[in-house]
Amino acid sequence: MAKKKFDTNPLDPDFPKKVAFEPQPQVQETQTLPENGASDTNRFKEPVKTEEQTTRKFDEASYNAYQSPYNGQNIPSPYQPPHPLYAQNDRTRKVAKIGLPENILTALPYVPFHIGLIAGIIELFIVPKSEAKVRFHAAQGVAAHLAIIIISWILHSIGNITGAEFGNSIFWLVTTVMLVIFAIKAYQGKPIHIEAVDDLTNWLEDKIKPGE
């Protein structure tokens, strides 16, 4: 039979015969080595956990707890403007409409012997609202004098009944020294805050308005 054009075998024509007479390799069974007995077998390292696996997941209840207005965490307090008492201004500057230095006007309301009472009232009627520091000390000085007058009157009445006037004398001496100290501190520009007369101070500063 004649060979066709593509009837060719590129392999060795005797290869099938040779293979038939060669011995076949023996197939070995796969053996599983014990875990502790395989000295040359290395265990793979545990896989590293991903960020998603290590991230704590909150349920809805925990999430809502963090959304509450206060959950024990520190919440910054709202900003409050500084009190006129602590305003940092030039204490020697001239105050509008009066022409006197600021430190003198803040010290006058604390002068004892009712001088500060009169000076503070005059300042409240003259000093404009823009001079918050001067007006604060004027109102506080007036409030302090009024409180001293009321307490002195009560102690004097008690002294007339009991015949002991030393209580009123001691109170007058203590308050006089206190007013002198306040006047010196105000002149030096140091803050003064008499908490006991806060309400009366605010009322005087609000109700007594300066003239135009």
Give bridge partners of residue 94 from the DSSP assignment: 101
pTM score, two decimals? 0.58
In a domain, 164, yes or no: yes
pLDDT number for residue 98: 84
In a domain, 182, yes or no: yes
Contact present, 107 and 186 (Cβ < 8 Å): yes
In a domain, 173, yes or no: yes
* Token pair for 37: 């007995």
pLDDT number for residue 166: 83
Number of domains making up the chain: 1
In a domain, 63, yes or no: no
Q: How far apart are CA 88 and CA 121, in angstroms?
A: 24
In a domain, 74, yes or no: no
In a domain, 43, yes or no: no
Residues 6+ apart with CB under 8 A from 117: 109, 141, 142, 145, 146
- What residues make up the domain containing 198? 93-207
Check residue 98 and report its DSSP letter: T
Alpha helix (H) ranges present in 22-165?
A: 51-54, 60-66, 102-107, 115-126, 132-162
pLDDT number for residue 63: 53
Q: Residues of the chain whose pLDDT is less than 50?
A: 3, 6-7, 38, 68, 88
In a domain, 129, yes or no: yes
Q: What is the 3-state secondary structure (H, E, C) of 50-62?
A: CHHHHCCCCCHHH
Check residue 146 and report its DSSP letter: H
pLDDT number for residue 74: 56
Q: How far apart are CA 187 and CA 118, in angstroms?
A: 18
In a domain, 57, yes or no: no
